Structure 1
Amino acid sequence: MVDPNSEQSALLRRAGEALARLDAVGALGLIDQADAYGVTHNGILNRSVAMRLKGDFHGSLVQIDRALAIQPYDFIALLAKGALLEKIGQARAAVPVYRNALKIAPPRDRCPPALLAQIDYASTLIHREAETLRDHMRAEVEALRASVDPAILDRFDEGLEIYAGLKPAPKQEPLLLNYPRLPAIPFYDRALFPWLETLEAATPMIQGELEALIAGGMEGFAPYIAYPPEVPVNQWGELNHSDRWSSLFLYKDGERQQAVCDRCPGTAALLDSLPMADQPGFAPTAVFSALQPHTHIPPHTGSANVRLLCHLPLILPGPARFRVGNTTRDWKIGQAWVFDDTIEHEAWNDADQLRVILIFDIWNPFLAEGEKAMITAMMQAQRKFMTGG
């Protein structure tokens, strides 16, 4: 007695062999025979390939849609559909299909070269179409730009590139606490922090105390990244236990480092006059951060979005960049900024000498005073629970 399933499988296998020989007609005859036992996903895909070999791109596309109706997350079928849409002159319609395909693409190290070429082609087409869309939207709004404040234009331009699909929307990815209803703002408006002018005016004084620390051989500076052997280092492999990125703490996790503060009393007094975050066991943290020449701090995120970080550059021997989300800025002596470190950020010292900045944390300005106390108590309770204290 003939097993229908085995017979059907044999027919489809022979159809695949015919397609490998580019024998579309022979393959279609075998697929017709296999379909007599029942239509299958593989049979539909083979029929699509055969019709494509015959030059019937519209018919092949119909078959691909039939296959996707059975298995919507078929990566190869989605790639094939994108290619067929291009064949019939619908390249723009192919873009969202390719985009959906790439969302479920297998890891590159598991793809054969031919498939990698298709993936790279799809990525290029998606990017090129996004650039075309960006340029079109820019042209359409150009006449409106003159009436808008430049600071708003910067935000609008980022939004336009996000809308076009060229950039991801910045998002908060805190390692510890993701507190709800706080905005994801890479760099905050200076108007929210009127004390920044006081900080910036003290730059020469802070620089003088820092120079004395450096002249003393940078005593107390230690690698900023220092994972124990049993902990995965992830992106920190090059900087783990490395002096290429070192730090000297004035405050660390809420504890004043008195010996360091005694060595730079003016800086310590200034920090004490500023509205640093106050969370015993967590904040404030204030630190001199030193980055050696031609060193890159890889993308990372901070611990909690209830706090923001302030940077004040002190030693800038040359180009030094800082990226938060989609925004990259150059540090400038005497100019501080406040940013959300739970948004992915990274830094570069492109110069030939040491770069040093002062970093300290402050409360997120969108929190109420009573809320800050409750958040602190909540975080302390969580730590107590986790440590069994």
Structure 2
Amino acid sequence: MAVAELTAQDTSLTAMRLMASGRMRDAREMLEAALRRFPGDISLWLNLAVSHRAGGDLTSTLATLDSALRVDPRNFLALLMRASVLEAQGQQRQAAQAYGVALTQYSPHGHYDEPTRRAVARAQQIHEAYLRELEGSLRGSVAELSSPRGPAETRRIDQMIDHLVGRRKVYTQKPTHFHLPGLPSIEFFEREEFPWLQRLEGATRDIQRELAGLLADPDQSGSVPYVQYPDWAPLDQWKPLNHSPRWSAFHLLEKGLPVPANADRCPVTMSVLADMPQPRVPQRSPVAMFSLLKPRTRIPPHHGVANTRLVVHLPLVVPDNCGFRVGNETREWKVGQAWVFDDTIEHEAWNDSDELRVVLIFDIWHPYLTEVEREAYARIMTSMDAVTGTVADGGI
């Protein structure tokens, strides 16, 4: 069969056989001729780069790979080979950066031959060393600042560096329903912003006693499954927990009103909640509950309803092997130590123990909302509910 009649795939296979037999020049000439007919075929470019590399012509190899990447800018093998050529040329810094780019296109579940797997391992080693060097330089540059910095500033600076070197993913607010622009995406807020936390935490033992009374009921009739979607709704990640007692709640405040069966039995808890800066939106807020997560149960990653509120956790019953993640930050609950977080940032929870986990959960106004914004938001919600005739689950 004449060369002109070969398909791009046939040409690549023939060229590979020529290279295997040491006929590099013949392989290059065949590939170059084929590329005049099939300039958009990535396999031809890659094989031509291999032939140049085998012949020791690193400059032509690099130029050929650049041509390949103009055809397919995200081609993993082209990116990986390009980084290795830069390394062979002694351009160590550029090679480390190029390896990082290549690794963004690497699939751990892909089917690669042994030489490629070895090349990937080397790429990871070189890029990781580069990131350590970069991280050390960045942290050193802010070790001694001209002005003193507090814990919150230190954490934000550290997180910025983590983002720069790829240690942290950028998580932002993604409310499922209601979004007020201009509010910052903060995973966990600093305790100093909420002086009332001391009042909340100081009541932990009394709240635990009231919770124990609810839990002592043989049938725990006051608790209901937390996730309650219609069976016809798209359930996605909620299917295992829909209508399941594995994640349930003793609701204390629901859609702005007390739930008498539970609230009347928890006077101290209700008194404490009355002192919290909870939203006041008719038929929506405030909300509060004892959240019960049964053993060996996980709440999947999800986002909250509205960024106009934050969520407070007061841990009450916490066995070992429980955890909670918001964005990049993972914490363990500790009984009596509350925290405040933005639930419109992706978050998840788990109880990998053999015992029940219980947390008091309630909403508060986002502290960065002005009084005018709070009033406007409440009016908007009330107006919307009047028009639609329905109130979405999830409170505010």
**TM band (smaller chain):** 0.7 to 0.9
| Correspondence 1:228-243 to 2 at 5 A | 228-243=230-245
CA RMSD of aligned residues (A): 3.5
Instruction: Identify which range, 353-362 or 41-50, moves more after superposition.
Output: 41-50
Counterpart in 2 of 1:176?
177
Quick check: 1:316–1:333 contact (8 Å CA) kept in 2? yes
For structure 2, list consecutive stretches of 5 or more residues without a partner in the other structure: 392-396
For structure 1, list consecutive stretches of 5 or more residues without a partner in the other structure: none
Q: In the TM superposition, what whole-angstrom CA distance separates every residue of 1:185-234 from its partner, at most 9, and x where no partner exists?
A: 11222333222222222222211111111111333223323444434443
CA distance in 2 between partners of 1:207 and 1:68 (Å): 62
Q: In the TM superposition, what whole-angstrom CA distance separates every residue of 1:120-156 from its partner, at most 9, and x where no partner exists?
A: 7656654553334223433454455995434433333
Q: What code does the residue aligned with 2:178 have?
A: L
CA distance in 1 between partners of 2:263 and 2:375 (Å): 26
Counterpart in 1 of 2:26?
26
CA distance in 2 between partners of 1:59 and 1:14 (Å): 21
Q: What code does the residue aligned with 1:311 have?
A: H
Quick check: 1:82–1:95 contact (8 Å CA) kept in 2? yes
Tell me if 1:259 matches 2:258: no
Deviation at 1:284, TM superposition (A): 1.8
> Out of 333, 336, 340, which is 1:334 matched to?
336
Counterpart in 2 of 1:186?
187
CA distance in 2 between partners of 1:20 and 1:386 (Å): 72
| Correspondence 1:205-224 to 2 at 5 A | 205-217=206-218, 218-224=220-226
Instruction: Identify which range, 368-377 or 67-76, moves more after superposition.
Output: 67-76
> Out of 370, 374, 380, which is 2:372 matched to?
370
Counterpart in 2 of 1:62?
63
Number of residue pairs matched by the alignment: 386
Counterpart in 1 of 2:394?
none
* Residue aligned with 1:166, SS: coil
Instruction: Identify which range, 144-153 or 236-245, moves more after superposition.
Output: 144-153
Instruction: Identify which range, 310-319 or 28-37, moves more after superposition.
Output: 28-37
> Out of 281, 284, 289, which is 1:282 matched to?
284
CA distance in 1 between partners of 2:251 and 2:72 (Å): 56
After TM superposition, the score normalised by the length of structure 1 is: 0.84
Q: In the TM superposition, what whole-angstrom CA distance separates every residue of 1:166-188 from its partner, at most 9, and x where no partner exists?
A: 11133112111232110111122
CA distance in 2 between partners of 1:29 and 1:259 (Å): 85
Q: What code does the residue aligned with 1:28 have?
A: R
CA distance in 2 between partners of 1:74 and 1:146 (Å): 46
Quick check: 1:301–1:341 contact (8 Å CA) kept in 2? yes
Change (3 A) 1:210 1:139: same
| Correspondence 1:1-389 to 2 at 5 A | 6=5, 9=8, 14-19=14-19, 23-34=23-34, 42=42, 43-101=44-102, 103=104, 111-114=110-113, 117=117, 122=123, 126-143=127-144, 147-217=148-218, 218-318=220-320, 320-382=322-384
* Residue aligned with 2:78, SS: helix
Change (3 A) 1:319 1:69: closer
CA distance in 1 between partners of 2:296 and 2:326 (Å): 19
CA distance in 2 between partners of 1:167 and 1:210 (Å): 37
CA distance in 2 between partners of 1:4 and 1:20 (Å): 19
Change (3 A) 1:83 1:223: farther
Quick check: 1:319–1:350 contact (8 Å CA) kept in 2? yes
Deviation at 1:11, TM superposition (A): 5.2
Change (3 A) 1:384 1:45: farther
Deviation at 1:277, TM superposition (A): 1.2
Quick check: 1:221–1:248 contact (8 Å CA) kept in 2? yes
CA distance in 1 between partners of 2:124 and 2:380 (Å): 45
Quick check: 2:324–2:332 contact (8 Å CA) kept in 1? yes
CA distance in 2 between partners of 1:175 and 1:22 (Å): 61
CA distance in 1 between partners of 2:91 and 2:69 (Å): 19
* Residue aligned with 1:153, SS: helix
Kindly, what percent of the aligned residue pairs are identical?
Answer: 38
CA distance in 1 between partners of 2:99 and 2:123 (Å): 6
CA distance in 1 between partners of 2:85 and 2:212 (Å): 65
CA distance in 1 between partners of 2:31 and 2:139 (Å): 51
Quick check: 1:127–1:166 contact (8 Å CA) kept in 2? no
CA distance in 1 between partners of 2:23 and 2:179 (Å): 59
Instruction: Identify which range, 309-318 or 143-152, moves more after superposition.
Output: 143-152
After TM superposition, the score normalised by the length of structure 2 is: 0.82
CA distance in 2 between partners of 1:75 and 1:329 (Å): 36
CA distance in 2 between partners of 1:119 and 1:284 (Å): 53
Deviation at 1:96, TM superposition (A): 4.1
Instruction: Identify which range, 287-296 or 236-245, moves more after superposition.
Output: 236-245
Deviation at 1:317, TM superposition (A): 3.8
CA distance in 2 between partners of 1:56 and 1:232 (Å): 57
Change (3 A) 1:55 1:282: farther
Q: What code does the residue aligned with 1:298 have?
A: P
Q: In the TM superposition, what whole-angstrom CA distance separates every residue of 1:232-260 from its partner, at most 9, and x where no partner exists?
A: 44334544443332211112233432222
* Residue aligned with 2:64, SS: helix
* Residue aligned with 2:264, SS: helix
Instruction: Identify which range, 164-173 or 223-232, moves more after superposition.
Output: 223-232
Change (3 A) 1:310 1:37: closer
